[in-house]
């Protein structure tokens, strides 16, 4: 290594040593988190490990990297004998860290993020009935603040590169966790009951999004040198994505395949041949999961593709309502309410509770409290046209910057950023995810 004073040293750079250590710590946390919840004592060990790593990194920039992969386990790992997750405890620690580093806290990390932060506060005020108590509102505000700060940090190429490496590892860990816990959701489809894999979530579609983003991160990361490790990880993530039985996730995989071919100038035939081979391997080795489930003493459930085929046939025949699991009808109901049953002020500035934290009214005379399954509708209902515009301004700017960086460098990190952005924008039309930390950090 050549030093700044033109002398040569055989010793590796200290910063590189630290970076390697931090990456290993993230890998260790991913491994531990994959089994949390299986044994009570183990929960405390994992919580201790998380807090130990966080405190070790408290005076380093890599402390902020933890908030990206932790978004997969944000509602899973609890802090010892409390009802608060490690994520919420780290939120408080992060505020202390900012106060210690800056005598006067200035929200100057992005000229558009403060606008979004103000919008988030206005939404939280509308959620005071859905989230009773000052602590709940304070946590919601801190979560949005941390989402904004994480978005700012992710504009740095090196931070993004290493954070997404961690996210890929935690996506795999979430799949292992879900299998060991037998975490699934019974869903009725055309009168038949089926089990949909949920990983670390309660919603298979939300988990499908995280698995897909993790798959993209694993594909593009250059921090995993072994091709065998990447292939095995990709096959496993592809399997758990299929297990969510999420049509949206399947479409997202197709979009990602096109982006990989276009951005990396790969061969369509070669890419889909590899994908087909991976699917064959998945089908051949499905019995391996049965062993894991048996060891965990959980009820096994198979891979159900009937729903995916049914929705494909509905789409091909022009029945978009069935193809989207009635989402188009729900969207029509919300839009009918938005344009015809509320005033102009509400249309411009919002004020409704319409997101994952709670539904305020039975919009459009619906007989059930149905989430919109559309983040764009969530934003419109919550903060109106003005809010939608202000949320998407930084999104468009950062996307344009990512395209510009890719044209200059053609590197894998820039290609990953573009892919993650496109996939997240696609999911805005499928998930009710406004104010969800694990979603908004990729949207902005």
Q: Please state the domain extents for the chain.
A: 1-106, 111-153+326-444, 182-316
Angle formed at CA 199 by CA 198 and CA 203, multiple of 5 degrees: 30
Angle formed at CA 12 by CA 229 and CA 51, multiple of 5 degrees: 60
| CB 90, CB 54: distance < 8 Å | yes
Structure tokens at 245: 């039985």
Whole-number pLDDT of residue 209? 96
Distance, CA of 148 to CA of 444 (rounded, Å) = 8
Angle formed at CA 75 by CA 69 and CA 76, multiple of 5 degrees: 85
Beta-sheet strands, E only, within 172-250: 184-189, 192-197
Helix (H) or strand (E) holding 189: strand 184-189
Helix (H) or strand (E) holding 25: helix 14-33
Predicted model pTM: 0.85
Structure tokens at 314: 């509905």
Whole-number pLDDT of residue 3? 45
- Each residue's pLDDT, cut to its tens digit, for the chain (444 residues) gives 434 444 433 433 444 445 678 888 999 999 999 988 767 788 889 999 999 999 998 888 889 999 999 999 988 898 888 888 899 899 888 888 877 776 555 555 566 677 777 777 777 766 666 666 677 777 878 888 888 888 888 988 999 999 999 999 999 999 999 988 888 887 765 556 677 889 999 889 999 999 999 999 999 998 888 888 888 898 899 889 988 888 899 889 989 988 988 888 766 666 667 677 776 666 656 555 555 555 555 544 445 556 666 665 566 676 666 656 667 888 888 888 888 888 898 888 887 766 544 444 444 444 345 678 899 988 888 888 988 988 898 889 889 999 999 999 888 999 999 999 999 999 999 888 887 889 989 988
Whole-number pLDDT of residue 23? 85
Whole-number pLDDT of residue 9? 38
| CB 162, CB 223: distance < 8 Å | yes
Q: How many CA atoms lie within 13 A of 267 on its CB side?
A: 4
What b/e string do you get for 274-299 counting C-beta neighbours within 10 Å, with b at 16 or more?
eeeebeeebeeeeeebeeebeeeeee
Question: Of 215, 306, 219, 212, which Cα lies nearest the Cα of 252?
Answer: 212
Instruction: Give the 3-state secondary structure of residue 335.
Output: helix
Strands 354-355 and 358-359: antiparallel
Q: How many CA atoms lie within 13 A of 180 on its CB side?
A: 15
- Chain CA centroid to CA 181, Å: 20
Structure tokens at 138: 């304070």
Structure tokens at 124: 């939280």
| CB 241, CB 218: distance < 8 Å | no
Structure tokens at 429: 């039309």
Structure tokens at 170: 């935690």
């Amino acid at each position: 290594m050549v030093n700044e004073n033109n002398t040569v040293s055989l010793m590796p750079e200290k910063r590189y040593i630290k970076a390697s250590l931090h990456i290993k710590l993230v890998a260790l946390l991913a491994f531990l988190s994959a089994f949390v919840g299986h044994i009570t004592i183990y929960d405390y060990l994992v919580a201790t490990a998380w807090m130990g790593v966080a405190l070790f990194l408290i005076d380093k920039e890599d402390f902020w990297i933890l908030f990206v992969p932790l978004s997969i386990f944000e509602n899973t790992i609890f802090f010892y004998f409390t009802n608060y997750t490690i994520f919420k405890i780290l939120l408080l620690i992060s505020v202390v860290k900012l106060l210690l580093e800056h005598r006067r806290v200035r929200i100057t990390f992005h000229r558009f993020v403060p606008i979004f932060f103000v919008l988030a506060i206005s939404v939280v005020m509308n959620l005071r009935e859905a989230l009773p108590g000052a602590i709940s509102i304070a946590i919601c505000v801190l979560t949005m603040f941390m989402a904004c700060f994480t978005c700012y940090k992710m504009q740095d190429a090196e931070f993004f590169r290493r954070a997404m490496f961690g996210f890929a590892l935690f996506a795999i860990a979430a799949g292992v966790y879900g299998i060991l816990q037998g975490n699934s959701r019974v869903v009725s489809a055309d009168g038949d009951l089926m089990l949909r894999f949920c990983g670390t979530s309660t919603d298979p579609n939300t988990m499908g999004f995280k698995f897909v983003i993790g798959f993209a991160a694993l594909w593009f990361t250059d921090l995993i040198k072994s091709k065998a490790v990447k292939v095995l990880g990709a096959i496993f993530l592809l399997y758990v994505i299929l297990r969510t039985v999420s049509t949206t996730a399947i479409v997202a995989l197709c979009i990602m395949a096109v982006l990989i071919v276009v951005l990396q100038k790969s061969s369509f035939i070669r890419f889909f041949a590899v994908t087909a081979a991976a699917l064959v391997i998945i089908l051949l080795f499905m019995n391996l999961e049965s062993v894991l489930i048996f060891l965990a003493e959980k009820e096994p459930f198979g891979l159900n593709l009937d729903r995916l085929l049914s929705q494909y046939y509905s789409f091909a025949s022009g029945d978009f309502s069935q193809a989207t699991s009635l989402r188009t009808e729900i969207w029509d109901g919300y839009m009918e309410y938005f344009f015809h049953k509320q005033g102009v002020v509400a249309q411009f500035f919002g004020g409704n509770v319409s997101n994952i934290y709670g539904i305020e009214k039975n919009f459009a005379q619906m007989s059930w409290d149905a989430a919109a399954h559309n983040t764009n509708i969530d934003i419109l209902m919550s903060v109106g046209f003005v809010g939608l515009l202000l949320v998407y301004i930084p999104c468009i700017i950062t996307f344009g910057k990512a395209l510009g960086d890719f044209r200059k460098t053609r590197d894998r990190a820039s290609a990953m950023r573009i892919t993650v952005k496109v996939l997240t924008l696609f999911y805005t039309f499928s998930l009710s995810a406004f104010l969800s930390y694990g979603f908004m950090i990729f949207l902005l």
